[in-house]
Chain A
């Protein structure tokens, strides 16, 4: 009996070693938001290049930052949003991309290049973009909606959902007050904070992805969220409508980057380039519902999709929007203080 066990152990060990000594497989480790890529693309990529994709997801820019900062992980491609990219550049957390390996950057509409977060376009390749807006139930809200004022309107007390993160929540107040969304003026921030304090009693709650259930099921009537997700909700509940407020809103760009110390940098560049292939971009967009920054892909979209103003809002609407930039340390701390005070 004992002999058998020893034999088994030896066999197992042998299997382990053979597994290790086999041909080293080329890999690329991708770290992305949940539900933000069509995973069948990984097979296409492996088929074409022989590089295997290891995939993992995160929930927020802040979580991504925390995980990378904590060390002990090795990702090759990440897809943060604009303000987080500028923070990571500032803190020297990203590798410069070798664009000789990413020729498909030429397909990207120049409108999405050289933006504030990566002015020299050295660290990032735009992945998708969108706006933040108000989603409301037309059965409850009978008036036309075009302003942030509705989420501060006592008439809808108990029906309103606010963002459950400090940056987005403060932004709704700053937009309503007409202040720049990246303001570092403490008086303006204090005013925005006071507005959120006065909003709290009329809120149903602070939510992130729970908003899907609450708005789809009619539990709440008004919520603030991202356009791509608004589209998903409207498919489930046709009573819902989406609006980008006239005071302006957040215009965001998520872009693919390579974190410092990536072990498979060239594979990462191959992956990024592959994601910019026109058919792949279109396939991916059909899955995520978020707008593509690729000019070539846009040209080849169905008219119906091109004219969908939730995916592709009118140009003047976008011009009225602002992107987040990274805030200085003391302002981030102020945000944190306000947020803790607001919620406690």
Chain B
């Protein structure tokens, strides 16, 4: 009894922290979202939301694409990792986390100099003669050779693809880690039981391992999707500022020419609701696996 009291007491700092820096700001966002510039209650901040439909759609679409790619890449990695020897696992996990020791912005700047038209990748292709080769082939195939425009680079930076790449690169470990930690904890005897009952390896994976790893998949999806949908610096650095995302739109309300924290809060609120709906649907889809943590 005494122990439990002590245990509860140790959570006090965390509770205070969360209340101060999560709950109160959330309440403020809700209050601001329904406040007019003059200070009264209003719904006007939401009426302009239709204008931003394109930004909402693009953000959700890019985040979804990044999440799917992370899942496709991350799941096999997590699965294969769980099959390896323990010392290999430890090393591999450390290597996975290693890029995170470098500042997020720096990593993104590194991608900029890789992807630029005069960047490392294009320079490399140019030096091995890839563009000359492509130009020659294309020229010989072209029906009107005089109209053919020779290429000297692949356009990689300042595209939506570059933004998705940035999301996948930065958030992939958040997909691998939860899936991996769930798979390694799967009881071996379950798999053995399935094998004893005559299941081949495909069936074992499909009927036992995959369903049991779903909680990990769901947390992975949450941990990739939520930061992706609200990112704002990636579209600026890798997308050339040409494709505004929700994060940019919200930042603009606070730091842009028209200081409007009310509309900014309204957009944030709508974004949070959309993300929560997405997550609820996901969790339903995962057959009510309540282990999957929301945030």
Which stretch (A62-70, A237-245, A259-267) binds chain B?
A62-70
Task: Decide if B27 is an interface residue (CB 8 Å cutoff).
Answer: no
Chain B proximity of A181: nearest CB distance (Å): 14
Chain B 47-61: CB-based contact to A (< 8 A → 1; otherwise 0): 000011011001000
**B252 touching A218 by the CB < 8 A rule?**
no
User: Could you tell me the distance between the alpha carbons of A340 and B240 in the complex, rounded to whole angstroms?
Assistant: 15
A343 to B256, CA, bound (A): 13
What's the dominant secondary structure at chain B's contact region? Answer: loop
Closest chain A residue, CB of each to CB of B241: A206
Query: Contacts A164-B236, A204-B240 given: A62-B255 contact, CB under 8 Å?
Result: yes
**On chain A, which size bracket covers the interface?**
20 to 34
Residues of A within 8 A of B112 (CB): 213
A66 to B258, Cβ gap below 8 A? no
> What residues of chain B lie closer than 8 Å to A65, measured between beta carbons?
259
- The answer for the CA separation of A122 and B239 in the assembled complex, in Å, is 44
Asked if A62 and B241 sit within 8 Å, CB to CB, the answer is: no
Q: Which of A113-121, A182-190, A331-339 contacts B (4 or more CB under 8 A)?
A: A331-339
- A158 to chain B: closest CB distance in Å? 8
Within 8 Å of chain A (Cβ to Cβ): is B265? no
Contacts of A59 in B (CB 8 A): 255
* Interchain nearest-CB distance for A314 vs B (Å): 31
Interface residues of A in 305-344 (CB under 8 A from B): 332-333, 335-337, 339-341, 343-344
A186: min CB distance to chain B, Å: 16
Whether B260 sits at the interface, judged by CB under 8 Å, is yes
B243 contacts across to A, CB distance below 8 A? 343
Interface centre among A158, A207, A344 (most CB of B within 10 A): A344
A333 to B158 alpha-carbon distance, docked (Å)? 28
Q: A165 an interface residue at 8 Å Cβ cutoff?
A: yes
In the complex, A166→B243 CA distance in Å?
A: 15
Is A344 touching B244 in the complex (CB atoms < 8 A)?
Answer: yes
Interface size on B, residues (CB 8 A): 30
B252 and A205 contacting across the interface, CB-CB below 8 Å: no
Residue of B nearest to A61 (CB): B257
Instruction: Please determine whether B51 and A203 come into contact, CB atoms closer than 8 angstroms.
Output: no
Known contacts A333-B258, A340-B51; 6 further A-B pairs (Cβ under 8 A): A158-B155, A207-B240, A210-B237, A335-B257, A336-B252, A340-B52
Residues of A within 8 A of B52 (CB): 340, 344
Tell me if B26 counts as interface (CB < 8 A to partner A).
no
Contact across chains for B54 and A344 when beta carbons are under 8 A apart = yes
A38 within 8 A of B: no
On chain B, the residues within 8 Å of A62 by CB distance are 255-257, 259
Could you tell me if B259 and A344 are in contact, using CB atoms closer than 8 angstroms? Answer: no
CB within 8 Å for A339 and B256 given contacts A218-B118, A219-B117? yes
Tell me whether A217 is interfacial, beta carbon within 8 Å: yes
Do B257 and A167 touch (CB < 8 A)? Answer: yes
**Most chain A CB inside 10 Å of its own CB: which residue of B236, B241, B243:** B241
Chain B residues within 8 Å of A205, by CB: 158, 239-242
